[in-house]
Amino acid sequence: MSALLHPLAYPFGLALFSVVVALLERLRPWRPSQGFVRPRLGWDLLSLVLHGHYTGTALALVAQAWILPHTEALWTRLGVPRGLVSGWSLAVQIPLALVLIDFVQWWVHRALHAFAPLWELHKIHHSIEDGEMDWLGSFRFHWMESVLYKSALYLPLGLLGFRADVLMLHALVGTLVGHLNHANLDLGHGPWRYVLNSARMHLWHHADQRGSCNYGILFSAWDWLFGTARMPADPPTRLGFDDLASLPRSLPAQWLWPLRWPAAKTDAHTPGVTP
């Protein structure tokens, strides 16, 4: 079976999308007062290098080499249909993977907001403040988020028999859409807004206390279906959350931040954060 994508497609795609979206932000900024040089640019550039798709790729390799071989009997006992889609054509595997993965990610994202320990992790992504929301903000998150998202995806999809390069194609599409959804571009997608997530919708996700709307990654359809869509005509006036000042600002300190959660949960009620 010939390869759909070259192994270097991801790093090339990441570089190309980054340059193109950064240029578009300079040419047609939605919020013109925001420049390329902005607070915490250096930490977010480091996040791009460290995250990208690489944590997920490393996890997939670990799962393939050390986890899957030891779980054969378990999947058989549970009746999981191993390799169900492996014989299916790319024309079926690609759209199916895009929709399935996005649906699972929508629920993972909801869980990151709904459960207090997970919210402590996800706060790092929501620490994007006014003047910091651009394509690069897509990469500001805790590395444990990758573990959660990718474990929920690559293990079941690998078991079902999706081709590895179909999963890489999803990573490329996800990276481009992630860039665009965080970009300083006035993208609302017109009538397609009921299907595709957009910068307009995702900006409101970042404006909400602990987020209660627009959990979509690629597709907005899940939010419209489950009643969590919010898309006012104007951008929000403020991003972040009320106790943002308590979150450290450097990347190393943010990575260590969730370790304090067991102690922090005994703290007094955090203003603005509802259970």
**Which parts of this chain interact with Zn ion (CB under 5 A)?**
211
Environment class of residue 104 by beta-carbon count within 10 Å: exposed (0-12), middle (13-18) or buried (19+)?
Answer: middle
Residue with Cβ nearer Zn ion (182 or 193): 182
Q: How remote is the C-alpha of 179 from its chain's centroid? A: 10
CB of 46 to Zn ion, least distance (A): 18
Q: Widest CA span of the chain, in angstroms?
A: 59
Reduced to 3 states (helix: H, G, I; strand: E, B; else coil), residue 18 is helix
Residue owning tokens 């988020």: 145
Residue with Cβ nearer Zn ion (211 or 258): 211
- CA–CA gap between residue 55 and residue 61 (Å, rounded): 10
Residue with Cβ nearer Zn ion (165 or 223): 223
Residue with Cβ nearer Zn ion (90 or 144): 144
Residue with Cβ nearer Zn ion (136 or 168): 136
CB of 140 to Zn ion, least distance (A): 8
13 half-sphere exposure, CB direction, 13 A CA radius: 20
Q: Do 2 and 207 form a contact (C-beta atoms < 8 A)?
A: no
Question: What residue is closest to Zn ion based on CB?
Answer: 211
Closest CA to 158 of 73, 8, 57: 57
CB of 50 to Zn ion, least distance (A): 17
CB of 167 to Zn ion, least distance (A): 22
CB of 121 to Zn ion, least distance (A): 10
